Amino acid sequence: MSGTPPVLEARGLCKNFPGVRALADVSLELHAGRLLALLGENGAGKSTLMSILAGVTRADVGDVLVAGQSVHFSSTREAREHGVVAIFQELSLAGNLTVAENIFLGREPRTRWGAIDYTAMNANAQVLLERLGVGIPARTVVSALRVSQQQIVEIARALSTEARVLIMDEPTSALAQREIDSLLRLIGELKRAGVAIVYITHKFEELAGIADDVVIMRDGAVVATRPFAELTHAEIVRLMVGREMLPFAVQTNRATGDEALRVEGVSLPHPSRVGDYIVNNVSLQVARGEVVGLFGLVGAGRTELLETIFGVHRKSARGQVWVAGKRIEGHTASAISAGLALAPEDRKHDGLVLGLGARENAGLASTRAWSRCGFLSPREEERRLGPLFEQLRLKVRSPDPAVLNLSGGNQQKVVLAKWLATEPEVLLLDEPTRGIDVMARNEIYALIHMLAGRGLGILLASSELPEVLAVCHRVIVMCEGCCTGEFARGDATAELLMQAALPRTLARQA
Amino acid sequence: MKGFSFASIARFQSLLALAVLMLALSLASDHFLTAENGVNILRQISVNLCLSIGLTLVILSGGIDLSVGAVLALAGAVAAGLLKTGIDLPMWNLHLDLTVAGAVMVGVGVGMVAGLVNGLMVTRLLIPSFVATLAMMSVARGLTQLWTGGHPISRLGAAFGFIGTGSFLAIPLPVWIVVVLCGIALVICHRTPFGRHLYAVGGSERAARLTGLNVDSIRVVVYVAGGALSGLAGILVTARLDSAQPNAGLGYELDAIAAVVIGGTSLSGGRGSVAGTALGCLLIGVLSNGLTLLDVSPFWQQIVKGAVIAVAVALDRRNSRQERLS
C-alpha cells in the first residue's frame, strides 16, 4: 500500500458475543483518499468490525489508532469528533424532523442570539443535497421521503461533518440505479478530497472504478488484504467462502402443477391520498412447484402487494385471494392457517423477535399446533425443528442463542424455519436475500427450488434483476402499484424487465 | 428457556444483593433471623407479590397497569359490601346471601371486569396503556368512594377473615396463595405457547402480528389476569384487616412496579420473568423489615427504597447493553 501513514489503523481486534466469536485478531489500515472494500459472508464479522471502528461497541482486545494516536471510542459521537463516521444499514434519522434538521442534528448553526439559524441551516443542507445530485428539498419532513431518499439524507449528514474516515454498510441496498450512480460518483469525489472510505457490500459490480484495496473476512478473521486490481471476481468469491463455488444453476421449468395461489383484483388505497393506490388492481396466479418473481423498483408496491395477500391490510384492501382453491377471508392468522407464509423484507423487526432464541422464533408460528395439552413440549419442538435446522444448515453454537446475536443470513434461515414448520402451501418471500452474502444466497436459492420441487408455490419479490432472472420460472413486473408486464423464463431479459419496471414517463426518456 | 436465561443475570444480581442484605441484617439485629420474622416478612410481601405477578405479565406484553392499587380497593369494598348485605334481586323478589367463596369470586370478578376494560381501551380504542390504566385508577377510586360512602366496611365474619389471618403448616394462607399463583404464572410464562407468545408480543409486536399471533387477545388476557390478581389482592387485604378501607392500596401500584423492575423485567416489554419479580418483592420486603427492626425512620426507608430501585435498574440496563450486538 502507499507509503503515507494510515489515517486509521486497527490492530489485533478481538470481540466475543455469547456463543459467537465475532472477531479474532483483526488488523487493517485505512489511507487517505483510498477506498477499502470490506467483503465477506454474512456473519464474517464485517458489521462488528464496523461498529467497533465507529464507536458503537468496544473490542475485547486490540487497539484502534487514528492518525497514529490510540483511541477508545465509547460513543459514535466520540468517533465523529475524531473524524470517523459510519452510515449503517438501519437508518438513524428522526422521522418527525426535516431533512435539514436531521443533517445538522446536534450541530445546528446558531444566530447571534443563540437560536437556530434556520436560513443558514436549510441553505447549507440544500447545497449538500445538490452535491449528491438529488432534488430533495431540505425542508421536507423525513418521514415523507422514500427509504432510498432517507438513505441519501443519511449520507448527506455524514458528509456534513467533514469526515476523514467514512464507513458505509451496504449503502446501495435500498437505492435505485440512478441513485447508485450518483453515489458512486460522489465516492470518487470524496476520495479525491482525501477521505478514507470503508465500503461494505455484496454487489461486486459496484467496486470496479472505486475500490483500491480489498479486505476479505471469514469467520471473524481477515483472510486476505490485497489491492483490488490484483483480484478477480472468482478469487474474491473463493476467498470469501473458502472454496471454489459454482454459480447457482436453475433447474428446468417444471411448473405444471395445480393452482397454489390466485389473486384477483387486489387493490390497496393510499392511506392519505384519496383516489391514489399503492397496489392497483393486481391479479396473478402461482402454480404448485412454480417460482414466480415479482420484480419492481423501490416503491413499486411489491411489499404492499405481498402484505395485502397476507391479510395485513384487510381493513382497507379490496380483492380476493385463494390458496389451494380456498378463499381467504380475514386477517393474517386465517391466511396462515390456509397455508400462506410471508418472510418480510425487514426481517429484524417484522420477521423476528430479536430478544427470543432461534428455536423460540422458529417455533413461534406453530407452537400452538404441537403443544401437548396446552403445554410446550421441548421434545416435540426438537423433533419438528431439529430436522428443519439441519435442512437449512443453520449452525448455532449455544443451545438457543438469541437471534439478536446471529448473522443476517442465519436470521433469514430462522424466519424460513418458522414458516416451514407451519407446512405452508405458498411462500411469499420479500427480498429474501437482501444483505445476505453469496454463499448463503445460493443456499437460499437452492432451498427455494427444493421447496418448489415439493409442490409449494413461491412468490418472490425482489428488486435485483440477476436474482429474478436466475431463480424464477416466470416474472411479473410491477410499477407504481400496477402489473406492467409478465414474462416466461425464456423470454425475460434484463432490458425487458427494466423497461416494464420504469414509470412511463421515465421509460420514454430512456 | 430463554425467559429464564435472559433474566438470569439480573436475578443473579438480586439474589446476591438479597444474600448480602440478609447477612448484614442478621449481624445487625438479633430479631431478624428468626422463623417468626421470616413468616412476618412473607406475610407482608404477599399482597404486593399478588399485584406484581399480574403486573409482570402486563409489562412483559409491553404495557403497564397503574390501576392495580385502585382496583384492589374497589374489589375489596364490593366483595365486603355484598358479603355483609347480600344481593337483592327485586325483579325476582329474591335475596341472596354471599358465601365466603362467593365473596372471593365477586372480588376477583370485579378485578377481571376492570382488567377487561383496561384491555379493551388499549386494544380497541388504542389508548396507550399508561393513560388507559391511569383513567381506570381514577374511576376505580371514585367508584370505591361511592360504594362505601367513604366509610370502611368492617366485621365481615371469622370465615372470611380466615383467608387473611389463617395459616397452614405455620405459614399464613395468603403466602400459600401467592406462592401457588407464582408457580402457575411461571408455568404459563415458560411452559405454554401462550407464555411464549406473550414474550413475542412484548419483544416485537409487529413481528408477532406478522407471525399470525392474535396480539390483541393476548394483550386483553394479560390485563384481565392482572385485574383478577388485583381483585384477589383486595380480598387478601380486606380479610386480613377484617375491613374494606376506601383508601386501601393507595400507592401500591408503585410498589408493584418497583418489585417488577428490581426483578429485572424490562419496562419496554419482552424481557424478564415472574421469578425475578418474586425476588424483587422479597428484596423490598426484607429491606423494609430490616430497616424497621433497626429503627430507621420511615422517611429514610422511602429514600433507601428509591435508591435501590435506581441502582437495580441501572445495573440491569448495563447488562442488557452488554448483551446487545452491533
CB contact under 8 A, A350 and B210: yes
CB contact under 8 A, A48 and B325: yes
Q: ipTM for the complex? A: 0.76
Chain A residues with beta carbon closer than 8 angstroms to that of B61: none
CA distances from B251 to A476, B108, B299 (A): 61, 20, 15
- Using one digit for the tens of pLDDT, what is the confidence trace for B108-158? 999 999 999 999 999 999 999 999 999 999 999 999 999 999 889 888 888
**Measured torsion, CA atoms of residues B262, B267, B270, B275, in degrees rounded to the nearest 10:** 20
- Using one digit for the tens of pLDDT, what is the confidence trace for A236-256? 877 876 654 445 555 555 556
Mean pLDDT score, B245-252: 90
Residue among A336, A357, A402 minimizing CB distance to B212: A336
Q: Is A48 on the interface with B (CB under 8 A)?
A: yes
> Strands A326-328 and A482-488, how do they pair?
unpaired
pLDDT tier, A427 (very low <50, low <70, confident <90, very high otherwise): very high
- B144 or A193, which is more confident? B144
| B48, three cell numbers | 404486593
Which chain A residue has the Cα nearest residue B200?
A: A353
Determine the 3-state secondary structure of B89 from DSSP: strand
- Using one digit for the tens of pLDDT, what is the confidence trace for B272-319? 899 989 999 998 899 888 888 888 888 998 898 888 888 878 877 776
Neighbouring-strand partners of residue A322: A262, A327
Mean pLDDT score, A83-95: 81
Using the predicted structure, report yes or no on whether residue B325 has a pLDDT greater than 50: no
* A-B contacts at Cβ under 8 angstroms: 99
- Whether pTM > 0.90 for this model: the answer is no
| A432, three cell numbers | 429474501
Using the predicted structure, report yes or no on whether residue B4 has a pLDDT greater than 60: no
pLDDT at site B236: 94
pLDDT at site B287: 87
Chain A residues with beta carbon closer than 8 angstroms to that of B323: 18, 402, 404
CB contact under 8 A, A364 and B196: yes
pLDDT tier, A212 (very low <50, low <70, confident <90, very high otherwise): very high
Using the predicted structure, report yes or no on whether residue A510 has a pLDDT greater than 70: no
Lowest mean pLDDT among A392-401, B21-30, B216-225, B255-264: A392-401
Using the predicted structure, report yes or no on whether residue A174 has a pLDDT greater than 50: yes
Determine the 3-state secondary structure of B2 from DSSP: helix
The percent of residues above 90 in pLDDT, for chain A, comes to 16
Mean pLDDT score, B227-237: 95
Whole-number Å distance between alpha carbons of B256 and B254: 5
- Report which DSSP code applies to B90: G
Mean pLDDT score, A181-197: 86
pLDDT at site B150: 86
Mean pLDDT score, B223-228: 96
Angle between helix axes B2-28 and B298-323 (nearest 10 degrees) is 150
What's chain B's average pLDDT?
87
Give the rounded distance of the alpha carbon of A290 from its chain centre: 25
* A200 backbone φψ class: left, alpha, beta (φ>0; ψ -120 to 50): beta
Under a CB-based contact definition with an 8 Å cutoff, are residues A381 and A468 in contact? no
pLDDT at site A451: 86
pLDDT at site B7: 45
CB contact under 8 A, B2 and A351: no
Chain B residues with beta carbon closer than 8 angstroms to that of A368: 193
pLDDT at site A43: 65
| A116, three cell numbers | 437556530
pLDDT at site A1: 47
Under a CB-based contact definition with an 8 Å cutoff, are residues A487 and A477 in contact? yes
- Among chain B, residues having any CB pair with chain A shorter than 8 Å are 2, 6, 187, 190-193, 195-197, 199-200, 203-204, 206-214, 270-271, 323-326
* Best A356, A382, A384, A404 residue to mutate vs chain B (most B CBs within 10 Å): A356
Report the candidate in A414, A457, A420, A412 with the shortest Cα–Cα distance to residue A439.
A412
CA distances from B113 to A299, B61, B99, B106, B145 (A): 46, 19, 21, 10, 18
* E strand or H helix at A133: none
pLDDT at site B73: 95
Q: Is A344 on the interface with B (CB under 8 A)?
A: yes
| A160, three cell numbers | 456534513
| A445, three cell numbers | 436459492
pLDDT at site B277: 92
Whole-number Å distance between alpha carbons of A365 and A445: 23
Under a CB-based contact definition with an 8 Å cutoff, are residues A304 and A243 in contact? no
pLDDT at site A434: 78
Report the candidate in B217, B145, B238, B222 with the shortest Cα–Cα distance to residue B189.
B222
CB contact under 8 A, A351 and B207: yes
pLDDT at site B108: 95
Report the candidate in B25, B42, B48, B36 with the shortest Cα–Cα distance to residue B295.
B25
Neighbouring-strand partners of residue A475: A293, A487
- Cβ-based neighbours of A377, under 8 Å, separated by 6 or more: A370, A371
The percent of residues above 70 in pLDDT, for chain B, comes to 94
Q: In terms of residues, how long is chain B?
A: 326
Mean pLDDT score, A123-147: 83
Measured CA angle at A80 (ends A79, A81), to 5 deg: 90
Which chain A residue has the Cα nearest residue B272?
A: A355
- The domain locations on chain B are 39-249
pLDDT tier, A206 (very low <50, low <70, confident <90, very high otherwise): confident
Taking every pair of Cα atoms in chain B, the longest distance, rounded to a whole number of angstroms, is: 70
Q: Is A371 on the interface with B (CB under 8 A)?
A: yes
pLDDT tier, B107 (very low <50, low <70, confident <90, very high otherwise): very high
Mean pLDDT score, A96-120: 87
pLDDT at site B78: 94
Residue among B6, B211, B326 minimizing CB distance to A365: B211
| B196, three cell numbers | 411464549
- Cβ-based neighbours of B75, under 8 Å, separated by 6 or more: B106, B107, B108, B110, B111, B114, B230, B231, B232, B233, B234, B235
Residue among B6, B196, B210 minimizing CB distance to A367: B196
Chain A residues with beta carbon closer than 8 angstroms to that of B191: 375-376
Using the predicted structure, report yes or no on whether residue A258 has a pLDDT greater than 90: no
pLDDT at site A247: 54
CA distances from B275 to A428, A432, B49, B51, B264 (A): 40, 39, 11, 14, 10
- Report which DSSP code applies to A88: -
Using the predicted structure, report yes or no on whether residue A158 has a pLDDT greater than 90: no
Using the predicted structure, report yes or no on whether residue A508 has a pLDDT greater than 50: no
CA distances from B195 to A336, A370, B175 (A): 21, 15, 24
Mean pLDDT score, A160-166: 85
Give the rounded distance of the alpha carbon of A228 from its chain centre: 24
Neighbouring-strand partners of residue A259: A287
Neighbouring-strand partners of residue B167: B172
Lowest mean pLDDT among A293-302, B74-83, B273-282, B301-310: A293-302
Chain A residues with beta carbon closer than 8 angstroms to that of B190: 376
Using the predicted structure, report yes or no on whether residue A505 has a pLDDT greater than 60: no
Mean pLDDT score, A168-176: 77
Mean pLDDT score, A123-146: 84
pLDDT at site B229: 96
Whole-number Å distance between alpha carbons of A304 and B209: 15
pLDDT at site A509: 43
